[in-house]
Structure 1
C-alpha cells in the first residue's frame, strides 16, 4: 500500500499500525459481510427491528461502561501492585450496573412501546436478548488490562476466533431459516463467547479472576473521576444511534431496515481516519513541543490528507450507490441507494472530526470536545424530528450529514479553537491543495 508523502506523516508508523491491527480490520470486514448476509435473509422489516434493538441497547450500554476505560489503564500503570483490586473493583461496578440496566432497558422499551400504542411480543423478546448481552460486557476490563501491558494482540486474536464462531452460528441460522429472535439470541452468545475467551487468556497468564477484590474507596474514587465520561459516552452513542430509533418510531421498521443497510456501507470505512491519525499524531505532538509553526503546518497537512482521501470515495460511492446496494443486498432494499448517496458524504466530516478531536485532546480542550459531541447529538435529534416525518430514511441521512457538519465545525464558535476551525474549513474547500497545484503550474 503506497502512502502519500506529506510533512509529519510517518509511512512506517502507518504501515506498522496496519500490520498490528490487520486481523482486527479483517474482523470488521467479516462482520460487515455477515451483516449483509443476515440483512438479505431477514428483509428490511425484520432487519429494521434488529437494528432498532441493537441501537436502543447500545445507548443503554453507554451508561454501563461507567467511563472507566481509560482510568482502568492509567490506574494499573500507576499502581501495578494493586492490579487485582483495580480490576476487581471495576468488574463488580460494571456487573452490578449491568444487572440493573438489563431489566431497565426492557422496561424503558415497554414504556415507550405502550406510549406509542405499538404492539409486538417478538420485538420485546429481541430487545430483551440484546439487553441481556450487556451482562457480559463487564468482562471487557480484561481487555483494558492487556492494553495497559501493551499486549492487545492476545485480545484481538480472541475477538477474531469468537467472531469466526459467531459468524458460523449466524450463517447456520440463515441456512435453516430461523426467525428474527434467534439472531438477537446470537448477540447474547457473542457476549458469552468473548467473556469466556477473555477469561481463558487471562488465566493463561497465570492470573486468576478469583483474586479480584472490590474496594469501596477505590470505587468512589473511580466514579468521581469518570462521571463526565459517562455523560460523554451517552452523548456519543446518541449521536451515532438515535436516527435508527427515531426512524422506527416515525417511519416504521421497514424504513429503519432500509436506512440501516445504507448506513452499514457508509460507515464501513470509518476505521481509516483512526489509523491515519494514530500514525501521524505522535509526530504532530512532538512538533507542538519543539516548533509551534511546524505543529500548525502539520495539522493543516493532516486535514488536507483526510479530505483528499475521503472526498473521492464519497463521490464514487455517491454516483454508484444504487449499483452498490443492488450488488450487496439485491432488490429487497430499494431506496437504500438514495440514502447512501447522501449518507456517504458524512464520512468527510467524520474524517475531519477524528483529526480535530485529537487536536482538542492534545490542547486539553476536553470540555469543548464534549460540547461538540453534545451539539452534534442535539442537532441530529432536532433535524430527525423535522425531516424523518417528511422524508423517512432520506431525512435521516440528511440529518446525519448536517449534524456531523455542525459538530465538526462547532469549534468555530470558540475563540480558543476558531483558528483551528478555519484550518479545517480551508481543507474542506481544498484551498491549500489548489494553491500548491497553482504554484507548481506557474513554475512550469
Structure 2
C-alpha cells in the first residue's frame, strides 16, 4: 500500500476520492466556470497543437513539394477513415457513459466501460490494420492510380492500432474532465512528429522520413495516453470490481460509429475525389487551404472537449435549464472567437496561403470558400454535441448519412468542371446544410435557441473591422508583406476594441478571466 501511495500522484488520488464522495450540486455560474477553465486549457493546448500541426504541414509541403505532399495527405486520409471504422464509435461511448457513471460515483461501471472499450477496439483495430495492409496495392493502383502510395499505406497500417487505443485513452481523460491530459497527448504527438520528421529531412530522407515519423509518434503517444489513464483512474489496473455493460455501450457507440464515418467522409471525400479525378498536386494545394481554414473552429473544438462530459452528466440528471444556459454562453463565445479568424482568412487569403509557399497561392479562393463554411458551422453552435450526448445520436446519424450522399454527388458533379474550387464548393454546401439541420433539430426537440441580443455584438464588431481590411486589399498587392505586418494586426485590434466598447455580458467576464488564466497556465 505504501508503494502505491508513493507512486500515485496527488491528482490521481484526488480523482479517486472525488468519484467516491457524495455528489455536490453545481450552480450555473460554476458550470460556466468549469466550461471556461476546461475550454481555456483546451484552447491553449489547441493553439500549441495547431502551431505544431501547421509547422509540420508547412515543413512537409515545402520539402516534399505538392506531389509527394499530396501522396502523404492521401495516406493520412485513408488511415483516418480506417481509424474511424476501427474505433467503432467507442470514443464517444466512453465520454458519455464514463461521465454519467462518474457523476453517480459508480467506479465499477466506469472500469467496466473502459475495459470493454479497450478490448473491443484492440480487436477491431488489428483486423482493420491487416485489411489495409493487404489491400494497399489495390487501393493505390486501382483507385488513386498512384503506385507510390502503396508503401505509405503499409507503414500507416502498422500504426493504426496505436492511434485507435490512444483515442480511447484521451476520451477517458475527457470524460473525467481532465482536458490537460487529453491535450497533453495530442501536443506530445504533434511535437514528436515534427521533431522526428525534421531529423529525417536533415538526414536526407524525404517521403519515407515523413511516414516513419508519423508511425513513431503514434506509438509513443499511445504509451503516454495509457500512462495518463493510470494517473486518472488507477482502478483500471488494480484488482477492483468491474461491472460490464458492453451491450449498452455498443448500442450507443454503433450509431456514433456510423456518424463518425459519415462526418469523416464529409471531411475527406473532397481530397479523395480530387485524388481520383485530378492529380496529387491538387490534393496538396487543397489540403493546405483546408488546414488553414479549420483554424476557425479551434475554439469550438476546445469548448466541446469539456462541454461534452458536462452535458452528458447534466442530461442524465435532467438539468435542462443549465443545459440551455451553457448552450447560449458557449455559442456566443464560439462566435466571438471565430469571427476575427474568419476575417483574417477571408480578407488576406493570398498572404495566408503563401505560408506554404508561393506555389500554394493558387488556392486562395479555396481558402475563402472553406473559411465561410467553417464559420457557419461555428456560428450555429454545438448542436451536434447536444444531440449526441443527450441520446439523440440516431437523428444525427440520419443527418450524416444523407449529407454524405449529397457531398459525394456534389463532388462528382463539381470537381470535373471546376477542379479544386468545385471540391471547396461541395464541402461548403454540405457543411452549411448539416449545421443548419442540427440547429433546427435542437430547437424542435429541446426548444432551445442559442441566440439573444448579445450575439449581435461580435457580428457588428466584425463588420467594423472588415472595413480597413477591405481598404488594405484595394491599395496593396495580394500577398504583400504590408498586408501581413500591418493589415492583419489592425483588423484584429479594431475587432477587439469594437467588441470591448460595446460592453461584455457578466457571464462573458467570468469566462474571459477563466480562459486567460488557464490559457496562460498552459502556454
Q: TM-score, normalised by structure 1?
A: 0.79
> Greater shift after overlay, 242-251 or 32-41?
32-41
The one of 80, 83, 94 equivalent to 2:121 is 94
Aligned to 1:51: 73
Q: Does residue 344 of structure 2 align to residue 316 of structure 1?
A: yes
The one of 36, 55, 79 equivalent to 1:33 is 55
Q: Is the 8 A contact 1:375 1:406 kept in 2?
A: no
Counterpart-to-counterpart distance in 1, 2:324 and 2:230: 44
> Cα deviations across residues 121-144 of structure 1 (Å, max 9, x unaligned)?
x31010112222212134323334
Counterpart-to-counterpart distance in 1, 2:107 and 2:169: 14
Q: Is the 8 A contact 2:399 2:434 kept in 1?
A: yes
What's the CA shift for 1:72? 3.3
Aligned to 1:67: 89
CA separation of 1:127/1:354 partners in 2, compared to 1, >3 Å: closer, same or farther? farther
> Greater shift after overlay, 271-280 or 66-75?
271-280
Counterpart-to-counterpart distance in 2, 1:204 and 1:291: 34
Q: How does 1:267-286 map to 2 (within 5 A)?
A: 267-275=294-302
What's the CA shift for 1:354? 4.0
The one of 241, 258, 272 equivalent to 1:245 is 272
Q: How does 1:422-433 map to 2 (within 5 A)?
A: none
Q: Does residue 405 of structure 2 align to residue 383 of structure 1?
A: no
> Greater shift after overlay, 69-78 or 333-342?
69-78
The one of 353, 356, 360 equivalent to 1:325 is 353
Q: Is the 8 A contact 1:9 1:280 kept in 2?
A: no
Counterpart-to-counterpart distance in 1, 2:281 and 2:366: 14
**Structure 1 unaligned blocks of 5 or more:** 1-6
Aligned to 2:506: none
CA separation of 1:59/1:420 partners in 2, compared to 1, >3 Å: closer, same or farther? farther
- SS of structure 1 residue aligned to 2:191: helix
Q: How does 1:121-160 map to 2 (within 5 A)?
A: 122-140=148-166, 141-160=168-187
Q: Is the 8 A contact 1:32 1:268 kept in 2?
A: no
> Cα deviations across residues 240-299 of structure 1 (Å, max 9, x unaligned)?
11111111111111100010011111112312123456788979x89x95869x959x86
> Cα deviations across residues 381-410 of structure 1 (Å, max 9, x unaligned)?
111111111111111111111111111223
Aligned to 1:188: 215
Counterpart-to-counterpart distance in 1, 2:446 and 2:107: 41
Counterpart-to-counterpart distance in 1, 2:412 and 2:29: 43
Q: Does residue 252 of structure 2 align to residue 230 of structure 1?
A: no
Aligned residues: 421
Counterpart-to-counterpart distance in 1, 2:288 and 2:126: 31
Q: TM-score, normalised by structure 2?
A: 0.68
CA separation of 1:407/1:177 partners in 2, compared to 1, >3 Å: closer, same or farther? same
Counterpart-to-counterpart distance in 1, 2:35 and 2:360: 37
CA separation of 1:392/1:101 partners in 2, compared to 1, >3 Å: closer, same or farther? same
- SS of structure 2 residue aligned to 1:329: coil
What's the CA shift for 1:323? 1.5
> Greater shift after overlay, 268-277 or 30-39?
268-277
**Structure 2 unaligned blocks of 5 or more:** 1-27, 464-501, 503-523
Q: Is the 8 A contact 2:129 2:157 kept in 1?
A: yes
Counterpart-to-counterpart distance in 1, 2:439 and 2:48: 37
CA separation of 1:420/1:204 partners in 2, compared to 1, >3 Å: closer, same or farther? closer
Counterpart-to-counterpart distance in 2, 1:232 and 1:34: 29
Counterpart-to-counterpart distance in 1, 2:257 and 2:307: 28
> Cα deviations across residues 299-343 of structure 1 (Å, max 9, x unaligned)?
6776566556545533432221012112x1222324122211221
CA separation of 1:307/1:207 partners in 2, compared to 1, >3 Å: closer, same or farther? closer
- SS of structure 2 residue aligned to 1:345: helix
> Greater shift after overlay, 351-360 or 252-261?
351-360
User: What is the aligned-residue RMSD (CA, Å)?
Assistant: 4.2
- SS of structure 1 residue aligned to 2:205: coil
CA separation of 1:431/1:387 partners in 2, compared to 1, >3 Å: closer, same or farther? farther
